[in-house]
Amino acid sequence: MRDLVFIAFLAVMFLLGSKRPFILILTYAYIDIVSPQRLTYYLLNSIPISLIAFVGAVGAWMVFDNKSDTRLSWRQGLLLLMLVYCGLTTIYADFPIDAARKWDWVWKALVFAIFLPLTLRTRLRIEALSLVMVLSASSIIINGGMKTALSGGGYGVLNLMGVENNSGLYEGSIISTVAICIIPMILFLAKHGTIFPPDWRVKAFAYALCLACLLIPVGTEARTGLICAAILGGLMFIHMKRKLLMGMLGALALVCALPFLPSSFTNRMDTISNYQGDESASTRLAVWMWTLDYVKTHPFGGGFDAYRGNSFHYQTVQRTVEPSGNIRIETINVVDKQRAYHSSYFEMLGEQGYAGFLLWLVINFGTMIQTERVRRRFRDTTDPAKAWIAPYALAMSQGHLIYMIGSFFVGIAFQPFVFMLIALQIGLATYARRLEADAGWQPILPTRPVAAAG
């Protein structure tokens, strides 16, 4: 039954795309985020819907779209360089078969990120893509938020739509990071949206969705999510007008929410400061140290999934309270191997070496800096048609920064979602540049005032 509903949905999207080709691009973004083929049992699994949507989107752009005002950005050049570089490291990878498997989806995400800004020529297109990204992610977030509110969730327990292999956005730490990073975008759309103009229904949905986003780190018990949420609170606080009032309301909301948090959540969050007794945190530190050593002998990285070559032993400290009241502290030796990086920064360093790591940093932080520049150029504009640009730029850079902070603890350097965020920001920057160029444009023959002519 679910298969038929998804097929009907995609059929309608393709049909609408035949009327307006940009909708095919939205369809591809939707498929990349939701992965409907993973949610079904038989029919969709056998159809390459992602490929069909991609070919449709690129083909429609090449044939129908106006390309006269298309502008390229240096960051698209860097993404292209990253694509070639990753292709080369895949050829010389330590584990060629595993590397090829990751390369298989990474190149698509990179190509789409290079292509996407070419199509983002109008405000409505930028808004539409942002909206579809938020709504696509909401299919997982509403689900997780409701389940958390009703049952409390648990680390590795929260069942997101029955996807078992924990892949894509359906993994707890990844969806926690993404859920928090889209909150500024949700708030922007609720205030400045034109597809769903702001009214009480839009606002109610947006606030409920933000609540669901905040519940995701609670439900998945991913510590990354809690750190992201705290930083988002700080970032939003900086730009608030009534800081004292909002700060007090925020603190009050936090105090009121604490009793409702499941004890397993608070226990797990305690391990952020008490990481020595936590095997997962100790494993991370050991993998990170291994990566730093590895890259010294492999400056160009080991290709995708190079972590499979790691093996190490480390010690954790376990603290137990005995029935007599004594506290017993034990040092346990742990031997481990083939552990993933659990950090995008170390993922890039280990897999792509110093050069790839640097390139990745420049793409991400360069994009954020560029977006901040756009915000500063437009923040004092009096033109109502351009009033959306500064708040949008702020929402994007906040969301991207949250993602990059979450990336410290999750290996999500090549998630298609972040490349869409980057593409949206490139699209915004080129759009802003065009607006500024248009504002400075003069017709070849000067326009005389009508009264003077008469």
Residue 307 three-state SS: helix
Decide: is 146 part of the binding site for another protein (CB under 8 A). Answer: yes
Cβ partners under 8 Å of residue 249, min gap 6: none
Decide: is 13 part of the binding site for another protein (CB under 8 A). Answer: yes
From the list 282-290, 330-338, 348-356, 443-451, the region that binds another protein by CB under 8 A is 443-451
For the bound state, the minimum distance from the C-beta of residue 128 to another protein, rounded and expressed in Å, comes to 6
User: What is the rounded distance in angstroms from the CA atom of residue 9 to the CA atom of residue 131?
Assistant: 17
Decide: is 244 part of the binding site for another protein (CB under 8 A). Answer: no
Cβ partners under 8 Å of residue 188, min gap 6: 130, 391, 392, 395
Among 3, 7, 50, 65, which residue interacts with another protein (rule: CB under 8 A)?
Answer: 65
Rounded to whole angstroms, the maximal C-alpha distance in the chain is: 103
Residue pair 137/169 in contact (Cβ under 8 Å)? The answer is yes
Decide: is 128 part of the binding site for another protein (CB under 8 A). Answer: yes
Q: Which is nearer to another protein, 242 or 448 (CB)?
A: 448
Decide: is 16 part of the binding site for another protein (CB under 8 A). Answer: yes
User: What is the rounded distance in angstroms from the CA atom of residue 226 to the CA atom of residue 214?
Assistant: 9
Q: Which class for 16: exposed (0-12), middle (13-18), buried (19 or more C-beta within 10 A)? A: middle
Q: Which of residues 88-117 bind another protein (CB under 8 A)?
A: none
For the bound state, the minimum distance from the C-beta of residue 13 to another protein, rounded and expressed in Å, comes to 7
What token pair was written down for 97? 């078969």
For the bound state, the minimum distance from the C-beta of residue 17 to another protein, rounded and expressed in Å, comes to 8
Cβ partners under 8 Å of residue 358, min gap 6: none
From the list 118-126, 174-182, 265-273, 415-423, the region that binds another protein by CB under 8 A is 118-126
Determine the size of the site formed for another protein (CB under 8 A): 46
**Taken in order 315, 317, 323, 324, is the CA torsion positive or negative?**
positive
Q: Which is nearer to another protein, 323 or 454 (CB)?
A: 454
Q: Which is nearer to another protein, 335 or 451 (CB)?
A: 451
Among 66, 165, 326, 333, which residue interacts with another protein (rule: CB under 8 A)?
Answer: 66
How many C-beta neighbours within 10 Å does residue 131 have?
Answer: 18
Name which of 396, 389, 400 is nearest 434 in CA terms: 389
For the bound state, the minimum distance from the C-beta of residue 194 to another protein, rounded and expressed in Å, comes to 8
For the bound state, the minimum distance from the C-beta of residue 20 to another protein, rounded and expressed in Å, comes to 6
From the list 124-132, 294-302, 306-314, 402-410, the region that binds another protein by CB under 8 A is 124-132
Decide: is 138 part of the binding site for another protein (CB under 8 A). Answer: yes
Q: Which of residues 24-53 bind another protein (CB under 8 A)?
A: 26, 30, 39
Q: Backbone phi, then psi, for 318, in 5-degree steps?
A: -110, 130
What token pair was written down for 178? 């993404």
Decide: is 135 part of the binding site for another protein (CB under 8 A). Answer: yes
User: What is the rounded distance in angstroms from the CA atom of residue 412 to the CA atom of residue 349?
Assistant: 13
DSSP 221: T
For the bound state, the minimum distance from the C-beta of residue 121 to another protein, rounded and expressed in Å, comes to 8
Q: Which residues bind another protein (CB under 8 A)?
A: 2, 5, 9, 12-13, 16, 19-20, 22-23, 26, 30, 39, 65-66, 121-125, 128, 131-132, 135-136, 138-140, 142-143, 146-147, 150, 161-162, 195-196, 443-448, 450, 453-454
